[in-house]
Amino acid sequence: MNMPVQTAKADPILEFAGISKRFGGLQALGDISLRVMPGEICSVIGPNGAGKTTLFNLASCLLKPTTGKVTFDGEDITHLAAHNLAKRGLARTFQNLAVFKHETVIDNILTGMHSRLGTGIFGAALFWGATRNAEIRARETAEEIVEFLEIESIRDLPVGTLSYGLQKRVELGRALAMKPKLLLLDEMVSGMNQEETEDIARFILDIREERNVTVMMIEHEMGIVMDISDHVCVLNFGRKIADGTPATVSKDPAVIAAYLGQDMEAAA
């Protein structure tokens, strides 16, 4: 098991406290409590419809809980507007691609820095002083991300012309451009081949170790979950049925019965 980056900060970077979410008569999540510690890779797994994406939507303030509280980096964000999270250091990718397909790779990554620029309307119109310096720094950061993700050869290509795996890598780069403290990855390797999956696993480890970013991911690919996670939370029918290390969770009878059967033990 990979050990999380050591940090002096003892409090969780993300905490769900007694979270429930109802959609009319449907109980999507019920009484979920979960702590994600700084520097770890935390995976949320479970069958389709278990409530994983609903949990992510609560973390990213796209939904509000029916009951309970969500805390990010010591701040109660339960009722915060979603657009206020970027400056606080929370970034996310989505299960379905959300890239600008007619724009280039580098321009897609640059859009991730919008919340960090903070220049005024007059400076932007005249492109001088702080605005010009901010633009230069943004492009330097974007180029560094391009190099980090090993996509230099496609930096000027329209994203829509790329393979699915490379488009997902661009989406990851755009999230990194937000300079997050916490990165939420929603089924990052879904639809990828083995080589692409291994590349993403390597990038996730590097993001944690080299960029000091905590990672929380929803994932169905048990190979990557067991290989790189420090912490695994298992949901089933909107309830948490297990929470611990990959080795512990993979041997939990409730998890084996509810989710992956013997395949989970084989992946552990």
Q: Map out the domains of the chain as residue ranges.
A: 1-89+180-268, 102-178
Q: Tokens at residue 150, please?
A: 């090993």
pLDDT tens string 12-33: 999 999 999 999 989 999 999 9
Annotation: CATH topology of 1-89+180-268: Rossmann fold (3.40.50)
Find where tokens 């993300």 sit.
Answer: 14
Average pLDDT over residues 7-12: 67
Within 10 A of 95 (CB to CB), how many other CB atoms are there? Answer: 15
* Phi and psi based region of residue 61 (left: phi greater than 0; alpha: psi -120 to 50; beta: remaining): left
Please state the pTM of the whole predicted model: 0.85
Nearest alpha-carbon partner for 141 in 170, 166, 117, 177? 177
pLDDT digits (tens, 9 = 90+) for 39-88: 999 999 998 889 999 999 999 999 999 999 999 999 999 999 998 998 89
**78, exposed or middle or buried, with CB in 10 Å at 0-12, 13-18, 19+?**
middle
**Tokens at residue 245, please?**
């290390």
Structure tokens that stand for 110 in this block: 């640059």
CA distance 139 to 102: 19
Please tell me the predicted confidence (pLDDT) of residue 136.
79
Which residue blocks in 95-185 are alpha helix, DSSP H?
105-111, 114-117, 121-126, 129-148, 164-176
